[in-house]
Chains A and B, each alone.
Chain A
Amino acid sequence: MSILPDGRFVDDAPYETDIGAEVRNAELDMSNARLLWLRFRKHKLGLISALFLLVSYLSLPFAGFISPYTPNERLEDYLYAPPQLVRLFHDGKFIGPHVYETQAEMDLESFSWKYVADTSSPAKLSFFCEGSDYKLSGFVPTDRHLFCAPEGATVFLLGSDRLGRDVFSRIMYGAQLSLTVGLVGITVSFLIGITLGSIAGYFGGFLDWSINRVIEILRSLPELPLWLALSAAVPSHWGPVAVFFIISIILGILDWPGLARAVRSKFLSLREEEFVRAAEMMGARPTRVISKHLLPNFLSHLIASATLSIPAMILGETALSYLGLGLRAPAVSWGVMLNDAQNLASIEIYWWTAIPMLPIVIVVLAFNFFGDGLRDAMDPNRS
């Protein structure tokens, strides 16, 4: 106990720290991103989906490495080969991952190929082996694959298709296009939507009126016929990359109205705020007010809603390619693969040719859960 010069008594012991207050302060001091992460973490399904999507997108450049074959490599002796199981035990003994060699036989009753596995001699899979040439992430020429079958045997994890191409490898390669189509599309839609939405909301008047009419018209039209009409206009002699970009741009061009409408309504309420007026009085130009003062207010919210419209684009690409108006043959996407599975035979007899549907469903679900989680994290008030 000591006495201060002004006569007050002060305890010498250090101040007791209020633990609760510390936690509260910590939360107040946290950055926005960290708060967001803390809330998002509670949404388990969203978290798992986010991890899954992260892994999927990160593995895209290594599709060639992971897949045992190249996408258009044909094994003529193995048309419509069913999926092969990778086994670990042979005759009750552990000998490492291996497959059995299969031999095609014509079944003269059903007139289809039957594949008989030779269970006497296991063919061990080799790892980091040499296979056919490809370019890692499109740049580095190499011939290393994560795993491949030994000479004379095949490893079709998910079977082979009509031309004897490995379905698993094609799914891996197809992911490169199918997954990025949504990203490119959403970028286009974002750019158009934010630009037009903010112009309409900020300036109002005639600009607002005309942009609003365009939004209304586009929203009241069915998407698919317009997609069809626009993609029918893509010249047939264009290369796969050009077609890919134009298709994703088409998907984006018809997606922006919803976004623009959201941006506009936010702008209408925000432009009356004091901070906007202050910025204007200090001489900020409209572009600066929009990009520095207005947009950051709800950009995170926009990103969440954009996440929710990516799946629609992935499904759109699939549908277009499936109808033969999207990506075309030498290019590999999940829709192009499903194009092969459009008859009942492929579902009844060669069910594995319809497998590309699984990654589509999973990715679309993941995007939905991820977007839901993100939206809940942004806006803790709505349940």
Chain B
Amino acid sequence: MAMLRFAVFRLITMLSTLMVVSVFVYAIINLPPGDFLSNQINELRATGQSAGIAKAEFLRQEFSMDQPIWKQYMIWVGLVPGPHGFAGMLQGEFGWSFEFDKPVSELVGGALWMTILVNLAAVVFIYAVALPLGVLAAARSKTWIDYTSAFVGYLGLATPNFLLALILFYYGNRYLNLPIGGLMDPKFEGEPMSFEKMKSVLIHLIIPTFVIGTSGAAGMMQRLRANLLDELGKPYVETARAKGMRESSMLVKYPLRVAFNPFVADIGTLIPSLVSGSVLVSVVLGLQTIGPVLLQALKSQDVFLSAFVLMFVALLTLIGTLVSDLLLALLDPRIRFGGRER
């Protein structure tokens, strides 16, 4: 029951955070002077094409771009009805991409799933790598395993993601025959999901996952190692050893259980950096996620498109934080819900 109350409380916090974020996002997007439509109208005027102007003007009114900014924001969110019943995000309408002349939801539909897929794969990769390596590095601290993993970790931390991506692409293609670019074979695009398509997507995911995950995995591993080393010096470990417990089962049963909580909670700080990394890597590697869409929309001031992508990215990270909080509350009995008991 307490757990449920905690979950609901966290959910409400998340939603209110999202509201604040939406103000941020809309303000930032509208920082540069001008917008896509007025730029287009100016351009059409300059080249003397009067036919297009009428359409652009119509779109401007239809999506209330001629209103003051605070009203635009209210309409975009859906707190105030727009002209002709144009509804905002709260009603499930995400606006129109002026550049591609399509509704935003239609434009980014597939990319959203791909973004989630890429980030999920990275999270799985990070935990799969960081957990065993971190434990190993702590259990065999100050040996070559420890030093090698620390060195590789530092290198992963220091190499710019996009370059790592390019280099791995090149060598992966050359020596392992991994495919270059995209998230699936072009022939599967627009096809319904099938086993073959799954396989193609998975193979294409290998390098992006590796690139996005490396720096996160390095940091995670180092923190797990440090936490475990702290625990290993404690008396209960000595007691367990003195009882004659096998080293490996002792390690998993006591110290790892304690060090595991911060390890899980780390996902909250991990996800924002993962999403950042995936945006960059997607642009470089040409993955069909929202990364390239965002870059393009920001450059051409396609307001609704970039605002939607930014909101989605924020939502993704907020959900990640929420999940980590809930997991931590489940895992760690020392965490109390709500206020102090009287």
Contacts and interface: CB of A to CB of B under 8 A. Distances in A.
Interface in A274-312: 311
Given A222-B275, A311-B158, A344-B169, A354 B28 contact: no
A79 B273 CA distance: 38
Nearest to B306: A229
Query: Which of B28, B160, B314, B321 is most buried by chain A, counting CB atoms within 10 A of its CB?
Result: B160
Nearest to B173: A344
Contact of B272 (A222, A229, A323): A222
A377 interface: no
B17 A228 contact: no
B159 A228 contact: no
Contacts of B268: 220
Interface string A83-124: 000000000000000000000000000000000000000000
Interface residues of B, number: 50
Interface residues of A, number: 39
Contact of B28 (A216, A222, A229): A229
A357 B165 CA distance: 13
B155 A361 contact: yes
Q: Interface majority SS on A: helix, strand, loop or mixed?
A: helix
A364 interface: yes
Nearest to B163: A357
Given A222-B276, A322-B162, A365-B158, A232 B298 contact: yes
Nearest to A361: B158
Q: Interface majority SS on B: helix, strand, loop or mixed?
A: helix
A344 B33 CA distance: 36
Interface in B236-265: none
Interface in B161-176: 161-163, 166-167, 169-170
Contact of B33 (A235, A324, A364): A235
Contacts of B279: 222, 224-225, 228
Contacts of B217: none
Given A232-B299, A347-B170, A348-B170, A315 B160 contact: yes
A383 B237 CA distance: 19
25 contacts: A219-B272, A220-B272, A220-B314, A221-B21, A221-B314, A222-B272, A224-B277, A225-B276, A225-B279, A225-B313, A229-B310, A232-B298, A232-B299, A232-B301, A233-B31, A234-B32, A315-B160, A319-B162, A322-B160, A322-B162, A323-B280, A338-B163, A360-B159, A361-B159, A361-B160
